[in-house]
Structures are given as structure tokens and as C-alpha cells.
Amino acid sequence: MNDFDYVRPASISDAIAAATEPGAAYLAAGTNLLDLMKGGVTRPRRLVDVTRLPGLDRIERLPDGALRIGALVRNADLAHDAEFARAYPAVAEALLSGASAQLRNAATAAGNLLQRTRCSYFYDAASACNKRQPGSGCDAREGENRLHAILGWSESCIATHPSDFCVPLLALDAVVEIEGRGGRREIALENLHRLPGDAPDRETDLAPGDLIVALRLPADARNFSAHARYLKLRERTSYAFAVVSAAAALRIEGGVIRDARLALGGVAAKPWRARASEQILAGGKPDAGLFRRAAEAAVTDAKPSGDNAFKIELARRILVRALTLAAAGTPARMPALPASPFSSVSGALHVA
Amino acid sequence: MNLSISLTVNGERRDVELSDPRVTLLDLLREGLHLTGTKKGCDRGQCGACTVLVDGRRINSCLALAISLDGADILTIEGVARGDRLHPVQAAFIAHDGMQCGFCTPGQIMSAIGLIGEGQAGDDPERVREAMSGNLCRCAAYAGITEAVLDAQKALTAADLRKSA
């Protein structure tokens, strides 16, 4: 790990001033950042510790019915907040399907949004990676790439965004509140992450010094609480990143889907909203044929970036399964294996 | 740069002068405070051998900068027994053979203590396994570990009930 200056500002404005310097990075829990620094993948010259900034660790219901999640709320605290889990069950399920209990106890809400790709060529300082070192090339293109992107990728970069949390947040129209040198602004989560194009090193819309202070779920995000699921296929049952995941949220009245939200994870450099599928679902009867048509529409533009054509079919199937589970209703209790397609009835063994 | 912090480690206040801001909580415990019960396995947050409780919550001490934890309350494997009396989770790991080589055991035990405190798993072995998935055991003593966690949880709940009676 490279040496760095450590500063712990007492106010948001001091933090922004300290982090605007070239080479500075914000430190919250550090569960991703320290790992990257240990591997020499990132080498910040200054760490600006935001963990003591006041007022960023609260979950608040706003007067207009929206929910505001402070940037420093820990993943585990958010997922286990009973009112939060009741109102936004797919978000809670996504959080609990990610990482391990230890990491969820430390990792923060804003940090989850800003975690870096898990592409092994990005992680390996000896490999060519346009994201890590612009212009150096992309060893993933001809390498081990069965888990890489099928949507929105470019010749420069085929990495995926690893977050589970972001997938249902995106489906529910989450908004990101940012403080920066120019004051406070907010952007839709959909516009936070960028597709790689020819500049995969520019991963987000954040400028130097910009600090995410909160996430907001709009009032109508709680309308889906009765029919919302997150489903995530992994290469092992727990403690693994998604091969493909999906968040499905439906508002069903009188046997008809009035409103549908759908997003994919593990398929692109950003969480992927399936708006065309949502339009197909709206007004329809929740059945297998409709779900298959919606799933097909989500992957119309998908193409393999390597040995990963299977992920397109997998995405279709995960979408159909997530929609089927959402239509069946949000379970009364969080499944024993959150988001797992192998989830069993409580108390039963998933392995004999 | 001021690199002095104070921590409460296993109930005792420790004022520490860090040599470098890069020191993780794990390295501070092992190299600085000579509490070598907490193990360094992968050092990258993948194996759970370094699990300790910080302010009552289980975390990977390899992925936490010590300097950022100024003022925190740390519990390590060295602090869980009362003299010669083992912590109920330690006793259960022995009773159920929840180990073979023992390298992952301090992390497993600290993780189990954290899990029982979180109160999310109940008596469901599937939920216990899921909640312990951040602790790898290369000897694959998982069956014994799961039984130990369930048994210890029962013992601790019974003790709580006796206390409150």
C-alpha cells in the first residue's frame, strides 16, 4: 500500500475542500478502498475520512413520503431496519445477498454505490486495463471474460458494476444527493454511473471533491412493497458477486399489473434499467407469457463481450423468475438465503 | 500528522501511537498490542480469520484502518473468556468439534458471537450457515461449526432467561 496523508475533517465543507486536491479520495468504511490499495490498484495520496461527519448516518422519512438514507448508514443497519425492509423489501433482500455479515456491518450506503468493478484484470496491476491506466488496453477482451458485460460495453472496457444494492434502488427511481464545491445538487441514480465508451476511467458523474451525502427513494417507491423481489445467481450460494441479478417490483390491482419496475445487475458497467420491459408489463395480466416477452425486451440489445453469451439467456431466465416470484408476493419473512434461486423453505437443507 | 489514538481493547483502555496511517486494526492488534489470537488469513476481507467486534459489531479487522477507529471499543478472542471459564461459544466449538487445524477458529468464534448478538438467525441452521458465510474453514468443519453456533445460542438464551427471571 502506498503512503498517504490522513485527514479527518469535522464538517462537510472542510471535507470537500480537502478532497478536491488531486490524488485525494474519501474514506468511509474502506472495505473496497483498502483492498484496492493493498493491491496497488489505486494509490491515493490523501485519504479524507468522512466517518465522523455529522448527520450522515440517519434513515429519515420525509414529509412528502420519500425516504432519505444517509450516506454513512451501514448496509446491515439499513437491511435490518424493520420499517425499511417492510416498505422496500427488494432493497433489503439485495443488501443481504451482498458480501458477508462482517462486510455489511462496516460498508456504507454511499460506499456501496461507489465500489469498483471486480474485473480481475482491473485488480491485477500487471494486466492492461483502460479503467486503471487509460490507454493501456483491455486484457479482459481476450482473457477470462465469461462474467463480463453483455450490455453497454465498449472495445475499451467490458467490466461490470458489482453492486446488488444499486439494482432495486435504480428500479425504484432512487436519487443521489451530492455536496460539492458548487453547493448541493441531486441526480438520478440512473445518471450516476457512466458507460465506458472510450473513457472507462471516468466511472461516475462526480467531480473532484463531490461527496454523496444521501440517497432518496421517492414516495411512490413504497407502492411496490407487496410484490418485490431481488434474485441473484452466483457461482456459490453465499458471499459471491452476481453472475446476473434482477430486481422486480410490481403494483398489482385486481389481477392486473398497474405499474412495473425492472432492473438487471452484473450485466453492464452500471445497474441496468429495463424500461421497455416495464412498458410491456404495465396493464398486463401477470403470467408466464407476459414475463417472457418482458424479459426478451430487456436483452434485445445484449451482445456477448467474450465467452459470456450464456449470460444473455441467463438474464432472460432470471428476469422471468424474478417477475414470477414478485407476482407471487413478497415473503412474510426474509428468505434464509436472500435472493438465492436455491432458497429453501425455512429449516430445510439446501444441500442434502 | 497526529497518529495517536486511544482504543478500549478487551475492556482495557489503550493509548496507541501509530507508526503509520496505513496500519490496519488487524496489524495493530497483532504487531502493536501482541494480541495474536486474531489471525491474518487472506488480509483482503475474503476469509474472515481476522474477525473481531468493534463497538459490538463483527467486522474484518484487515479492512479497517486503525486510525479511523479512534475511540472504538474492540473485543478480540483474548477477551471473551472469564479467567478459566470459557465463553459459551468457545465451549460449544469444543463440544461440537467445530475445528480441525484451528487457524480460522478465533474468527469463527468472534463471528458467531457477533451473529448471536445480531439476533437474526434464530434456530434455523440454514440462516446460521448463511450468516457465517464470511468465515471460511479450509478443513471444512462447517457441520460442527453450525451445531456449535446453534448450541451456544441456546445456552446464551437460556442464561439470559435465568438472569431476567
Tell me which residue in A30, A35, A100 faces B44 most closely, judged by beta carbons.
A35
CA–CA gap between residue B138 and residue B90 (Å, rounded): 19
Hey, of A73, A105, A123, A349, which one would you mutate to test binding to chain B, going by the most B CBs within 10 A of its CB?
A105
Do B96 and B28 lie in one domain? The reply is no
pLDDT value, residue B164? 74
Do B25 and B92 lie in one domain? The reply is no
**Does any CB of chain B come closer than 8 Å to the CB of residue A101?**
yes
CA–CA gap between residue B78 and residue B82 (Å, rounded): 10
For A307, the grid coordinates are 465467452
Tell me the ipTM for this assembly. 0.97
Q: Chains A, B: CB contacts under 8 A, how many?
A: 107
Domains: count for chain A: 2
Span B24-35, mean pLDDT? 98
CA distances from A332 to A217, A227, A257, A335 (A): 22, 11, 21, 9
Give the CATH number, domain containing residue A16: 3.30.43.10
Do B119 and B66 lie in one domain? The reply is no
Hey, of B39, B60, B67, B136, which one would you mutate to test binding to chain A, going by the most A CBs within 10 A of its CB?
B60
Q: Given a cut of 80, is residue B58 above it in pLDDT? A: yes
> How many Å lie between the alpha carbon of A264 and the closest alpha carbon of chain B?
23
Span B8-24, mean pLDDT? 97
Radius of gyration from C-alpha coordinates of chain B:
16
Asked, for residue A197, whether it belongs to a domain, the answer is no
**Does any CB of chain B come closer than 8 Å to the CB of residue A346?**
yes
Tell me how long chain B is. 165
pLDDT value, residue A23? 97
Do B75 and B112 lie in one domain? The reply is no
Rounded to whole angstroms, the maximal C-alpha distance in chain A is: 62
> How many Å lie between the alpha carbon of B148 and the closest alpha carbon of chain A?
16
pLDDT value, residue B163? 81
Asked, for residue A10, whether it belongs to a domain, the answer is yes
Q: Collect the ranges in chain A with pLDDT lower than 50.
A: 346-347, 352
| pLDDT tens figures, A3-57 | 999 999 999 999 999 999 999 999 999 999 999 999 999 999 999 999 999 999 9
Of A118, A124, A81, A85, nearest in space to A234 by CA: A118
Contact assignment for A347 to B124 by CB distance below 8 Å: yes
**Does any CB of chain B come closer than 8 Å to the CB of residue A80?**
yes
Of B135, B85, B83, nearest in space to B112 by CA: B135
Examine the fold and report which residue of B25, B59, B79 is the final residue of a domain before the chain moves on: B79
Mean pLDDT of chain B: 96
Do B25 and B66 lie in one domain? The reply is yes
Counting DSSP H helices and E strands in chain A, the numbers are 12, 12
Do B19 and B64 lie in one domain? The reply is yes
B40 in Cβ contact with B31 (< 8 Å):
no
Structural domain containing residue B43: 4-79
Which residues of chain B neighbour A47 with C-beta distances below 8 Å? Answer: 21, 65
pLDDT value, residue B161? 77
pTM of the predicted protein model: 0.97
Structural domain containing residue A295: 226-328
Give the CATH number, domain containing residue A290: 3.30.390.50
Task: State whether residue B115 is helix, strand or coil.
Answer: helix
B158 pLDDT tier (thresholds 50, 70, 90) = confident
**Does any CB of chain B come closer than 8 Å to the CB of residue A6?**
yes
For A137, the grid coordinates are 488496453
Within 10 A of B17 (CB to CB), how many other CB atoms are there? 9
Asked, for residue A31, whether it belongs to a domain, the answer is yes
Do B70 and B36 lie in one domain? The reply is yes
B157 pLDDT tier (thresholds 50, 70, 90) = confident
pLDDT value, residue A347? 47
Contact assignment for B65 to A30 by CB distance below 8 Å: yes
Residues of B with CB under 8 A from a CB of A: 1, 3, 20-22, 24, 43-45, 48, 51, 57-60, 62-65, 67-68, 111, 114-115, 118, 120, 124-127, 129-135
pLDDT value, residue A253? 98
Domains: count for chain B: 2
pLDDT value, residue A343? 64
The residue of chain A nearest to residue B67, with distances taken between CA atoms, is A6
| pLDDT tens figures, B94-149 | 999 999 999 999 999 999 999 999 999 999 999 999 999 999 999 999 999 999 99
What lies within 8 Å, CB to CB, of A272 at 6+ separation is A151, A152, A170, A263, A264, A265
